[in-house]
Structures are given as structure tokens and as C-alpha cells.
Amino acid sequence: MKLRIISPETDQEFEVAWVDVDTHVGNFVILKDHAPMLATLSEGEEISFCLKNGKQETITPEGGTVEVARKVVTLLLTKAPKNL
């Protein structure tokens, strides 16, 4: 599954096993073939993801949205996170 992180400053893509996001409607762990959805991210809440090599990464966005398709998760952020 691909994870795209897009902001005015950056556009990055990663191969991931899962993505864990906090939204205004709850917390979601997104795996390959997750049902499509669109949600607003909770500001200041960590987003975790596991790269295909097993390394876990965490970012803290200031705000944005998450779009989930069957094989792609897109984070559209208002500003690039400092820890990316």
C-alpha cells in the first residue's frame, strides 16, 4: 500500500504496511484494501505508519485531511510536519 504525504512544501511517497490516524470521528488503523473514506485529521495528533521494512515512523501534522482508497492513503496537510 502507498502512503502519500502532500503539503505546500513537500510531496513524498512511501510503501507501508499500515497507517494509524486520529480524525474528528475517531481513530483508524488503515490496512491495504481498507474501505474508501475521507476525513479531517485531528490537529496536533500523531500519525504513525509502518514502512514495508518494518520501521515505524511518526509525524505530527498541524491539520489536514486523509483520503483512503483501496491501495493508497493520501495525507493532504496544511503544512509539512517538522518531523518528516
In the chain the domains, ranked by start, together with CATH numbers, are 2-77 (2.60.15.10)
Residue 81 pLDDT greater than 90, yes or no: no
Mean pLDDT, residues 13-19? 97
Residue 46 pLDDT grade (very low, low, confident, very high; cuts 50, 70, 90): very high
pLDDT for 49-79, tens place per residue?
Answer: 999 999 999 999 989 999 999 999 999 999 9
- The b/e string for 56-75 (b: 16+ C-beta within 10 A; e otherwise) is eeebebeebebebeeeebbb
pLDDT of the residue at 40: 96
Mean pLDDT, residues 11-36? 95
